[in-house]
């Protein structure tokens, strides 16, 4: 029995969500709940406020994000792990 395309897409979406839940560990779930030092949090809030005031286009936002990520020294596979967590809505 063949599935129509809509049913197939729903089944694939459910499968992806199941795999993501399987891959994400408890440590990764708590990654965004870790306390941030107050001095860093203060500068981070100023940085975000300046970005929002700047009315930057997408290309400039990507350039800024690229510089931040490269200066943090995040490996590509680690970055993809964080992207998955953000997409999941944590």
pLDDT, tens digit (0-9, with 9 covering 90-100), for 2-42: 677 778 778 877 776 666 665 556 556 666 677 888 999 89
Q: Is the pTM of this model over 0.75?
A: no
Encode 2-34 in three state secondary structure: CCCHHHHHHHHHHHHHHHHHHHCCHHHHCCCCC
**Under a CB-based contact definition with an 8 Å cutoff, are residues 73 and 5 in contact?**
no
- Per residue in 40-83, pLDDT tens? 989 989 988 888 888 888 899 889 988 888 888 888 888 888 88
Is 51 within 8 Å of 61 (Cβ atoms)?
Answer: yes
What's phi and psi for 34, nearest 5 deg? -65, 140
Domain assignments of the chain as residue spans, ordered by start: 5-88
Phi and psi at 59, nearest 5°, equal -65, -40
Closest among 32, 41, 6, 10 to 86, alpha carbons compared: 32
Distance CA(17)–CA(74), nearest Å, equals 25
């Amino acid at each position: 029995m063949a599935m129509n395309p809509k049913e197939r897409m729903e089944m694939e979406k459910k499968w992806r969500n199941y795999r993501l839940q399987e891959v994400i560990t408890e440590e990764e779930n708590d990654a965004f709940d870790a306390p941030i030092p107050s001095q860093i949090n203060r500068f981070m809030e100023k940085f975000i406020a300046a970005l929002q005031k700047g009315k930057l286009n997408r290309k400039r936002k990507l350039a800024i994000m690229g510089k931040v990520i490269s200066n943090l020294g995040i490996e590509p596979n680690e970055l993809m792990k964080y992207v998955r967590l953000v997409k999941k809505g944590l």
